[in-house]
């Protein structure tokens, strides 16, 4: 069903289902326990967490199952309920999951609802939904934030990215090309953290371009249900049109090394396409294509390539490929991306937080940090009755108000309280 509604090849669909299962299992082991912040001298301070209530999940069409599980796992394990809205072009797997859940979970714990356009707005503005967990485009994420402000909803936003790969001079060009190709073309490039622009050191640039073009030319583009297919279609007409426009502009200003020609048959098929000789201000470089078209750019200076990679409104993820790990880590520290992978790609672990920076998102998904986003933190500060400090004394003058703390409520802070009292 996932292949039929989304388009990805069957092996990639199977991978999504397996990883979704692992995500749920990982969250099933997590908890949000009480945290004792201070204890001793007759005082105890505790942070404890409670469920928010009802969470609204809004998920996109590129990974409709796993991106739902990233939200459902922490939602349920912290005691919340969920209303899930899938993308209107990929509702079937979410609805099927809802049927399965109805046989397992109590009524009302997990709910699915679908329509074409207005549902996301209605959910985000609904007074009984306490949090919106959204994955999708930056433009739609901005609309979610605006609507959520009206009721001060909690929001987690995982948004778009224009993820850069930096390929250093000390790696074999052909091996690096293989890894970058997979990072760019899996799911026909329709991944928020897909490699969307590759910066390759000039000493291996030509060999790298030749190798990655060969990989693109050998891809099997077609129906994801057919054995041997490696690239399925772009999922919907709107995205297909966007990628076509970016590709047509790139063909005018760059050199197409592989692909570039659209299929004339039925379906939104775009062959994996490699383009070089583009400037950094080319639309294919500075916009998120979200499709199987990759620009390959040349660099010679590290400071220059870090600046170019960071020159983006996005900041979701990035990759660095190099044998010198110390140097690669130092380069990663200078990245403005929320996540940087070194010599690996899409290394998402349900036990580790994943977050974006800049216009690529707010909050965190996965890991303990992601779990906490589905809770409300409370502080309990207690002292023994006989050790309780006297009330703050308050004197009000015509022009001033002063407070004096005459006990050492916080050890070693009596002098600070005295100064505060003298200064009003």
> Which residues pair with residue 166 across a beta bridge?
199, 320
Cα 358 from Cα 363, distance rounded (Å): 11
29 is catalytic: no
Annotated catalytic residue: which of 192, 209, 287, 365? 192
Does residue 81 carry a catalytic annotation? Answer: no
What is the SS3 assignment for the chain? CHHHHHCCCHHHHHHHHHHHHHHHHHHHCCCCCCEEEEEECCEEEEEEEEECCEEEEECCCCCCCHHHHHHHHHHHHCCCEEEEECCCCCCHHHHHHHHHHHCCCCCCCEEECCCCCCHHHHHHHCCCCCEEEEECCHHHHHHHHHHHHCCCCEEEEECCCCEEEEECCCCCHHHHHHHHHHHHHHHHHCCCCCEEEEEEECCCHHHHHHHHHHHHHCCCECCCCCCCCCECCCCCHHHHHHHHHHHHHHHHHCEEEECCCCCCCCCCCCCCEEEECCCCCCHHHHCCCCCCEEEEEEECCHHHHHHHHHCCCCCCEEEEECCCHHHHHHHHHCCCCCEEEECCCCCCCCCCCECCCHHHEECCECHHHHHHCCEEEEEEEEECHHHCCCCCEEEECCCCEEEECCCCCCCCCHHHHHHHHHHC
Catalytic residue among 5, 16, 130, 158: 158
Point out the residues that are catalytic.
Answer: 158, 192
């Amino acid at each position: 069903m996932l292949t039929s509604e989304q388009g990805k090849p069957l092996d990639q669909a199977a991978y999504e289902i397996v990883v979704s299962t692992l995500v749920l299992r990982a969250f099933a082991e997590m908890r949000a326990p009480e945290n004792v912040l201070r204890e001793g001298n007759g005082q105890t301070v505790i942070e404890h967490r409670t469920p928010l209530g009802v969470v609204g999940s809004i998920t996109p069409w590129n990974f409709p199952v796993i991106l739902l599980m990233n939200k459902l796992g922490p939602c349920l394990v912290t005691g919340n309920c969920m209303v899930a809205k899938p993308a209107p072009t990929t509702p079937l797997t979410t609805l099927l999951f809802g049927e399965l859940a109805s046989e397992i979970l109590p009524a009302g714990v997990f709910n699915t609802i679908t329509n074409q356009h207005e549902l996301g707005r209605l959910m985000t503005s609904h007074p009984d939904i306490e949090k919106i967990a959204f994955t999708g485009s930056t433009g739609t994420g901005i609309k979610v934030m605006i609507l959520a402000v009206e009721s001060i909803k909690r929001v987690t936003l995982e948004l778009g990215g224009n993820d850069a790969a930096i390929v250093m001079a000390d790696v074999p060009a052909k091996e690096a090309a293989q890894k970058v190709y997979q990072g760019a073309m899996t799911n026909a490039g329709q991944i928020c953290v897909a490699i969307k622009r590759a910066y390759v050191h000039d000493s291996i640039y030509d060999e790298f371009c030749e190798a990655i073009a060969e990989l693109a030319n050998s891809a099997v583009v077609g129906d994801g249900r057919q054995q041997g297919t490696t690239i399925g279609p772009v999922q919907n007409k709107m995205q297909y049109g966007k990628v076509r426009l970016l590709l047509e502009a790139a063909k005018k200003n760059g050199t197409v090394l592989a692909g570039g020609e659209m299929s004339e048959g039925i379906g939104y098929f775009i062959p994996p396409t490699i383009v070089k000789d583009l400037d950094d201000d080319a639309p294919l470089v500075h916009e998120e294509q979200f499709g199987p078209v990759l620009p390959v750019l040349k660099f010679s200076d590290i400071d220059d390539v870090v600046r170019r990679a960071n020159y983006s409104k996005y900041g979701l993820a990035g990759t660095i490929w190099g044998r010198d790990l110390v140097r690669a880590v130092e380069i990663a520290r200078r990245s403005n991306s929320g996540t940087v992978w070194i010599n690996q790609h899409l290394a998402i672990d349900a036990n580790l937080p994943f977050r974006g920076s800049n216009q690529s998102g707010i909050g965190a998904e996965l890991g303990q940090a992601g779990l906490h986003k589905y809770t409300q933190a409370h502080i309990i500060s207690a002292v023994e009755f006989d050790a309780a400090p006297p009330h703050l004394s308050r004197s009000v003058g015509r022009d001033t108000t002063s407070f004096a703390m005459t006990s050492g409520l916080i050890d070693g802070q009596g002098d600070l309280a005295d100064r505060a009292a003298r200064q009003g």
